[in-house]
Amino acid sequence: MESATIPWNQSVNVTLNGNEVGYKCKFDEDFKYVLLPVSYGVVCVLGLCLNALALYIFLCRIKTWNSATTFMFNLAISDTLYVISLPLLIYYYSHGDHWPFSITLCKLVRFLFYTNLYGSILFLLCISMHRFLGVCFPLQSLRWGSVRYARRMAAVVWVIVISCQSPMLYFVTTSSRPDGVTCHDTSARHLFDDFIAYNSIILVLLFVVPFLIILVCYTLMVRQLLRPTMGQSRLSRSKRKSLRMIILVLVVFSLCFLPFHVTRTLYYTFRSLDVNCYSLNAINIAYKVTRPLASANSFLDPVLYFLAGQRFVRFARHVLPPPEDGHKMVIQNPNTLDSGRTRSSPGTSEDRKDAQL
């Protein structure tokens, strides 16, 4: 294959097979040397602070865990592992795509990005399924919503994500060029077709299927939550909280995950087809812009914890200074009532069911 590249605003006048179009075109990527370091820096600072706070609350302030706490803790672990790898990418992009570190670190950084991405999606799916059972099938949630079951599900999620992303350690590589070393986020040229097939499978299994399940669950949840309740003229407080959670999770998916997967799929498709360099450069720019959005879930996820209930907010407020008695505070099981509320007001049966969310 010829080593010369063609400017992005010129068309390729020869028929190319496989992925050669992507390598024949010269992309206009100067913008990413500012966009990515700045955006990754913001994600790193916010993500590290918020997830450190969340982990402190989970480990040091919450004595009794429930299913939601288990999933959120694992989600915070996933986010933390990713944000601590961002300084390497910040250095890489701020120095014009120059990777002075080992190929092992290159593989690890790319691996952590996708592990966090799909780990977040699957743990959000678990949280959504847990809330779906609590709203639509409260009796079944007593069994399937147990902490033991949540721990098993969390372990299964980690096994699935790590197993599915382990091929990235094989595909990702580095390559030398006259002015530096590139840490690729795809693969070597001769493996690109295999990389496309692998990513297509991952796209369906770890994004499309979970996204569709979440949409179905939330549609049924909204119908249940908006159903009129005898003796109540408006939505209860717990129902409004559940609706806020639904909106936030959908916002995270729509803002962080959906644009990234759409633009990445188009980018890989265009690279494997005989398209002109102008179109390929346009989708490449869109793909690079959505990468920081995909990373933003690392600091948006902790917002879910604070909206999960007023009790988590109280824990966060008491982090500095700590409570005077020095004892850990307790979150009750989601399948039990909030004792403070039930003592002050007996409420209706619907209120008691809502309090389990």
Say how far apart CA 24 and CA 12 lie, in whole Å. 8
Greatest alpha-carbon pair distance for the chain in Å reads 78
Strands 6-7 and 174-177, sheet pairing: unpaired
Measured from the Cβ of residue 305, the count of other Cβ atoms closer than 10 Å reads 24
- The rounded distance, in Å, linking the Cα atoms of 227 and 235 is 9
Q: Indicate the domain borders of the chain.
A: 22-227+235-308
Can you give the pLDDT at residue 161? 98
Decide if 72 contacts 126 (C-beta within 8 A): no
Amino acid at 69: T
The pairing of strands 6-7 and 25-26 is: parallel
pLDDT of residue 61: 85
> CA 273, CA 276: separation in Å to the nearest integer?
9
Tokens of 86: 């961002």
In the prediction, which pLDDT does 64 show? 85
Which pLDDT belongs to residue 321?
Answer: 52
pLDDT of residue 239: 76
Going residue by residue through the chain, which has 357 residues, state the pLDDT in tens, using 9 for 90 and above: 333 343 333 333 333 333 444 557 888 889 999 999 999 999 999 999 999 999 998 898 888 888 888 999 999 999 999 999 999 999 999 999 999 999 999 999 999 999 999 999 999 999 999 889 888 888 877 777 789 999 999 999 999 999 999 999 999 999 999 999 999 999 988 999 999 999 999 999 999 999 999 999 999 999 988 887 665 656 677 777 778 888 888 988 999 999 999 999 999 998 888 788 889 999 999 999 999 999 999 999 988 777 665 555 666 666 655 544 444 444 444 443 333 333 333 444 444 444 333
Amino acid at 136: C
- CATH code for 22-227+235-308? 1.20.1070.10
